[in-house]
Amino acid sequence: MEAKMFCYQCQEAAFGSGCIFKGICGKESHTSHVMDLLLFVVRGVSTVADCLRKAGVPENEETNRFVVDALFCTITNANFDDESIINRVSKGIALRNRLMKEANDKGVELPEIDELTWKGERSDYDVKGQSVGVLREPDEDLRSLKELLLYGLKGMAAYLEHAIRLAYEDVSVHAFLQETLAMIALDRLTAPEWIKQVLETGKYGVKTMALLDKANTGRYGNPEITEVNIGVGKRPGILISGHDLKDMEDLLKQTEGTGVDVYTHSEMLPAHYYPAFKRYSHFVGNYGNAWWKQREEFSTFNGPILFTTNCIVPPLGNAVYKERMFTTNSTGYPGCKYIPQDRQGHKDFSEIIALAKRCRSPKEIEHGTIVGGFAHNQVLQLADKIVDAVKTGTIRQFVVMAGCDGRMKGRDYYTDFASALPHDTVILTAGCAKYRYNKLPLGDINGIPRVLDAGQCNDSYSLAVIALKLKEVFELNDINELPIVYNIAWYEQKAVIVLLALLSLGVQKIHLGPTLPAFLSPNVVKVLVETFHIGGIGTVDDDLKLFKLA
């Protein structure tokens, strides 16, 4: 049977090679095609913007916003709504044409590439979308490097979008995004040059995560050690998912005094760690677990759900909660209400609040508390205690288990691995991977919890800051001399930029699972293994021995 699509950007790529009929994520083949077309248009816009920038033409804010949103929109589990994606395609073509006219008027020479010569007729969208996808590059290794680069850019764009919403921006990151997309469109680099650009992407990934960290802490304070309630109250509630803290702030403000409680789900859990949100008495707790359990957990929550970023699992046909789903920012799902923002960046959540008031309170699915808030500022306040524990041998090893969770049965490995770690080891985590072990009774070491949760996936930056500080304290020459091993789970493109960021900082011997990315060709894997000593995971027992933890 002839393939209808091709996508291998996430860990669940079918058969470990790629989805060809329908995405395992739930993405239909026609949605895949319009996403491929949107990325084609983004490359065109970026190519013109890059030429204009290098000719001294001032920054174009509309272009910057478009590129960031379009990249974010195509991340796994972010947007399943063809209409919203097609609208972005049309917007991008109009923007490209205006930029091309500006270049022509100012005598700026543009390259002759398909991304710029295609007329962009609406009637041609479907056919064009089928011809400009991943497989347009016939060379497996070049394709692998280009897609690795693109997926890193997608993750970077997601983090940049969050920072922008808090009025933090860096024009150099926009310039890098657009220059790199232009490189992909022009296709003039050799394999070694692509590898160099991949590492440069990691460098800008660190820069972007630092910017977002500054935005989040500047607005909401430094995360603090916090016990988060995982039970429920008796009032109706709204469940907010994703990563966007600006939406978190606006929702809490608008629900204050309404009799409606607010709960976090999955990656929004770390919002509880920020001092600015603790003043809201109706900010009740965290409901449920990682994103992939939402079909069952959204059914029992009973109230409306707001998706602020990716992590949508398409509801089953008989789902009782679909009419309670709302999307915003770069997300979208057919039939679900989209919450836009006005020109001042304000969003009106009154419809969600009104619906919540008509709903029953959430059904309790667990009770108790979990502890988090160990971002770099908080951990560095404990530095003397931690350093002393390392020097005395009370803490023998740190294990970074950051990243993403997912549905694959093999991810039980991470729960088993955490459970099997010796009692003198401490887990450093960020992202939804923590749901595999953050509720285990792992105890503490002299008052230091054995699971130190830094926050969201972008807070992997905190783990890098902590490692660099420990390197300084112990007066080491190489970050790899620290008593830290890396056993990281991945799922989608934000994890890719985290990986590239770690590589750019010189971190080696990273183990990645539950499977290596399908988009890495055998030759590219060979380069990563030989250069950075990246590896996959094995059995728990074998890996404990490999990490010298058995």
- Domain boundary among the residues 332, 357, 382 is at 357
For residues 6 and 20, give the distance between their C-alpha atoms in angstroms, rounded to a whole number.
Answer: 5
Task: Render each residue's pLDDT in the chain as its tens digit; 550 residues.
Answer: 688 999 999 999 999 999 999 999 999 999 999 999 999 999 999 999 999 999 999 989 999 999 999 999 999 999 999 999 999 999 999 999 999 999 999 999 999 999 999 999 999 999 999 999 999 999 999 999 999 999 999 999 999 999 999 999 999 999 999 999 999 999 999 999 999 999 999 999 999 999 999 999 999 999 999 999 999 999 999 999 999 999 999 999 999 999 999 999 999 999 999 999 999 999 999 999 999 999 999 999 999 999 999 999 999 999 999 999 999 999 999 999 999 998 888 899 999 999 999 999 999 999 999 999 999 999 999 999 999 999 999 999 999 999 999 999 999 999 999 999 999 999 999 999 999 999 999 999 999 999 999 999 999 999 999 999 999 999 999 999 999 999 999 999 999 999 999 999 999 999 999 999 999 999 999 999 999 999 999 999 999 999 999 8
Co-location of 151 and 49 in the same domain: yes
Residues 209 and 255 in one domain: no
Residue 274 belongs to some domain of the structure: yes
Residues 182 and 243 in one domain: no
Pick from 406, 451, 471: nearest CA to 432: 406
Exposure on the CB side of residue 197, measured as CA atoms within 13 A: 27
Q: For the chain, how many structural domains are there in total?
A: 3
The answer to whether residues 309 and 399 belong to one domain is: no
* Residues 393 and 411 both lie in one domain: yes
70 in a structural domain: yes
**Is residue 175 domain-resident?**
yes
pLDDT score, position 550: 87
**Do 257 and 119 sit in the same domain of this protein?**
no
Please give the Cα distance from 148 to 145 (Å, whole number). 5
Q: What pLDDT score was predicted for residue 521?
A: 97
d(CA 181, CA 175): 10
- Through-space distance between the first and last CA atoms of the chain, rounded to whole angstroms: 48
- Are the beta carbons of 523 and 473 closer than 8 angstroms? no
Determine the structural domain holding residue 395 and report its residue range: 374-546
> What stretches of 301-380 adopt beta strand conformation (E)?
305-307, 325-328, 337-339, 369-372
Please check whether residues 418 and 503 belong to one and the same domain: yes
Q: Are residues 319 and 386 in the same domain?
A: no
Cα 4 to Cα 19: distance, rounded to the nearest angstrom: 9
Assigned domain for 362 exists: no
Q: How many CA atoms lie within 13 A of 429 on its CB side?
A: 29
366 falls within a domain? no
Does the residue 1 lie in any domain? no
The verdict on 259 and 160 lying in the same domain is no
**Cα–Cα nearest to 245, from 264, 224, 226:** 264
Does some domain include residue 29?
Answer: yes
Residue 1's pLDDT is 60
Task: Examine the domain organization and report whether 40 and 189 are in the same domain.
Answer: yes
Q: Which of 317, 332, 357 is the last residue of a domain?
A: 357
Residue 250 shares a structural domain with residue 315? yes
Q: How many residues does the chain have?
A: 550
Specify the 3-state DSSP secondary structure of 462.
Answer: helix
- Statement to judge: residues 103 and 251 lie in one domain: no
The pLDDT value given to residue 2: 80
d(C-alpha 163, C-alpha 165), whole Å: 5
* Rounded (10°) CA dihedral 13, 17, 21, 26: 0
Integer angstrom CA distances of residue 96 from 115, 120, 133, 541: 9, 10, 19, 54
CATH for 35: 1.20.1270.20
344 located within any domain: yes
Show the tokens assigned to 284.
Answer: 């009740």
pTM over 0.85: yes
Strand pairing category for 261-265 and 369-372: unpaired
Secondary structure element (H or E) that encloses residue 468, with its range: helix 460-473
The pLDDT value given to residue 350? 98
- Return the CATH number at 397: 3.40.50.2030
Pick from 302, 322, 357: which residue ends a domain?
Answer: 357
